Amino acid sequence: MSEIKIIGLSAPAGFSINEYLKSHPANSKIVSEFEKEILKHIKDFYPKGIKPNYSDWYAGMTDKTHSRYKAHKKSRNIEDLPNYKKFYLYSMSNARMLESRLFKKYGMGNSNTTGGIYIHSKYVYVFHEQNARLKSLL
Protein backbone atom coordinates (compact mmCIF):
# COMPACT_ATOMS: atom_id res chain seq x y z
CA MET A 1 0.00 0.00 0.00
CA SER A 2 1.28 3.46 -0.84
CA GLU A 3 1.83 5.95 1.94
CA ILE A 4 -1.17 8.28 2.15
CA LYS A 5 -0.81 11.95 2.99
CA ILE A 6 -2.65 13.15 6.09
CA ILE A 7 -3.82 16.73 5.98
CA GLY A 8 -5.35 18.97 8.57
CA LEU A 9 -4.39 20.08 12.04
CA SER A 10 -6.05 17.10 13.68
CA ALA A 11 -3.20 14.73 12.72
CA PRO A 12 -0.85 14.23 15.68
CA ALA A 13 2.89 14.38 15.18
CA GLY A 14 4.24 11.10 13.89
CA PHE A 15 0.81 9.82 12.85
CA SER A 16 0.96 7.23 10.08
CA ILE A 17 -2.23 6.40 8.18
CA ASN A 18 -0.79 3.05 7.14
CA GLU A 19 -0.04 2.12 10.76
CA TYR A 20 -3.49 3.31 11.81
CA LEU A 21 -5.20 1.22 9.13
CA LYS A 22 -3.18 -1.86 10.14
CA SER A 23 -4.12 -1.48 13.80
CA HIS A 24 -7.77 -0.50 13.08
CA PRO A 25 -8.94 -2.89 10.35
CA ALA A 26 -12.09 -2.15 8.41
CA ASN A 27 -15.28 -4.08 9.05
CA SER A 28 -15.83 -5.93 5.76
CA LYS A 29 -19.52 -6.54 6.49
CA ILE A 30 -20.23 -2.83 6.99
CA VAL A 31 -18.20 -1.91 3.91
CA SER A 32 -20.07 -4.47 1.77
CA GLU A 33 -23.44 -3.19 3.00
CA PHE A 34 -22.56 0.38 2.06
CA GLU A 35 -21.14 -0.75 -1.28
CA LYS A 36 -24.55 -2.31 -2.08
CA GLU A 37 -26.34 0.84 -0.91
CA ILE A 38 -24.17 3.06 -3.12
CA LEU A 39 -24.62 0.78 -6.13
CA LYS A 40 -28.40 0.87 -5.61
CA HIS A 41 -28.29 4.66 -5.40
CA ILE A 42 -26.40 4.76 -8.71
CA LYS A 43 -28.63 2.19 -10.44
CA ASP A 44 -31.71 4.20 -9.44
CA PHE A 45 -30.29 7.12 -11.44
CA TYR A 46 -30.55 5.14 -14.70
CA PRO A 47 -33.72 4.08 -16.55
CA LYS A 48 -34.76 0.46 -15.94
CA GLY A 49 -32.75 -1.91 -18.14
CA ILE A 50 -29.85 0.51 -18.68
CA LYS A 51 -26.54 -0.63 -17.24
CA PRO A 52 -24.86 2.03 -15.08
CA ASN A 53 -21.62 3.56 -16.34
CA TYR A 54 -19.74 3.68 -13.05
CA SER A 55 -16.80 5.57 -14.52
CA ASP A 56 -19.14 8.56 -14.90
CA TRP A 57 -19.37 8.66 -11.10
CA TYR A 58 -16.95 10.00 -8.55
CA ALA A 59 -16.49 8.47 -5.09
CA GLY A 60 -14.36 10.04 -2.40
CA MET A 61 -13.94 10.14 1.35
CA THR A 62 -13.78 13.02 3.76
CA ASP A 63 -14.60 14.22 7.23
CA LYS A 64 -16.81 17.05 5.91
CA THR A 65 -18.51 16.28 2.63
CA HIS A 66 -19.49 19.87 1.93
CA SER A 67 -15.87 21.08 1.99
CA ARG A 68 -14.68 18.24 -0.29
CA TYR A 69 -17.41 19.19 -2.74
CA LYS A 70 -16.08 22.73 -2.85
CA ALA A 71 -12.65 21.32 -3.70
CA HIS A 72 -14.12 19.55 -6.72
CA LYS A 73 -16.14 22.40 -8.24
CA LYS A 74 -16.35 25.75 -6.52
CA SER A 75 -18.80 27.41 -8.91
CA ARG A 76 -21.83 25.33 -7.85
CA ASN A 77 -23.69 24.73 -4.63
CA ILE A 78 -23.60 21.22 -3.19
CA GLU A 79 -27.28 20.82 -4.04
CA ASP A 80 -26.35 21.29 -7.71
CA LEU A 81 -24.08 18.26 -7.84
CA PRO A 82 -25.75 15.63 -10.00
CA ASN A 83 -27.15 12.85 -7.80
CA TYR A 84 -24.86 13.67 -4.85
CA LYS A 85 -25.19 11.52 -1.75
CA LYS A 86 -23.03 10.97 1.31
CA PHE A 87 -22.73 7.90 3.49
CA TYR A 88 -21.41 7.71 7.07
CA LEU A 89 -19.13 4.66 7.43
CA TYR A 90 -18.44 4.84 11.23
CA SER A 91 -14.64 4.73 10.88
CA MET A 92 -11.84 5.99 8.68
CA SER A 93 -10.78 2.40 7.97
CA ASN A 94 -14.25 1.53 6.67
CA ALA A 95 -14.38 4.68 4.55
CA ARG A 96 -10.90 4.09 3.15
CA MET A 97 -11.67 0.48 2.25
CA LEU A 98 -14.93 1.44 0.51
CA GLU A 99 -13.37 4.34 -1.41
CA SER A 100 -10.57 2.07 -2.60
CA ARG A 101 -13.00 -0.70 -3.54
CA LEU A 102 -15.22 1.68 -5.53
CA PHE A 103 -12.19 2.87 -7.46
CA LYS A 104 -10.66 -0.55 -8.09
CA LYS A 105 -13.86 -2.44 -8.93
CA TYR A 106 -15.88 0.27 -10.67
CA GLY A 107 -13.47 3.00 -11.77
CA MET A 108 -15.16 5.65 -9.63
CA GLY A 109 -12.76 8.51 -8.98
CA ASN A 110 -9.40 9.33 -10.49
CA SER A 111 -7.13 7.47 -8.07
CA ASN A 112 -7.35 5.23 -5.06
CA THR A 113 -4.14 6.36 -3.36
CA THR A 114 -3.44 10.04 -4.08
CA GLY A 115 -4.69 13.11 -2.29
CA GLY A 116 -5.08 13.72 1.40
CA ILE A 117 -7.51 12.58 4.04
CA TYR A 118 -8.19 13.71 7.56
CA ILE A 119 -7.91 11.52 10.63
CA HIS A 120 -11.67 11.79 11.13
CA SER A 121 -12.61 11.04 7.51
CA LYS A 122 -15.58 8.72 7.99
CA TYR A 123 -17.80 9.73 5.08
CA VAL A 124 -17.86 8.38 1.56
CA TYR A 125 -19.66 10.52 -0.99
CA VAL A 126 -20.64 9.92 -4.59
CA PHE A 127 -21.86 12.12 -7.38
CA HIS A 128 -22.54 11.75 -11.08
CA GLU A 129 -20.46 13.90 -13.39
CA GLN A 130 -20.36 12.55 -16.92
CA ASN A 131 -17.01 13.29 -18.55
CA ALA A 132 -15.75 14.80 -15.29
CA ARG A 133 -12.16 13.88 -16.08
CA LEU A 134 -12.34 15.61 -19.44
CA LYS A 135 -13.67 18.74 -17.72
CA SER A 136 -10.83 18.60 -15.14
CA LEU A 137 -13.32 18.41 -12.26
CA LEU A 138 -11.67 15.45 -10.60
The yes-or-no verdict on residue 90 having pLDDT over 60 is yes
- Whether 56 and 131 have beta carbons less than 8 Å apart is answered as yes
Query: What pLDDT is recorded for position 37?
Result: 97
Domain ranges for the chain: 27-128
Residues 68, 116: Cα–Cα separation, whole Å: 11
Q: Residue 129: its pLDDT value, please?
A: 76
Model confidence at 130: pLDDT above 80: no
Question: Strand locations in the chain, DSSP E?
Answer: 5-6, 57-62, 85-88, 116-117, 123-128
Q: Say what the pLDDT of residue 73 is.
A: 55
Average pLDDT, the chain: 76
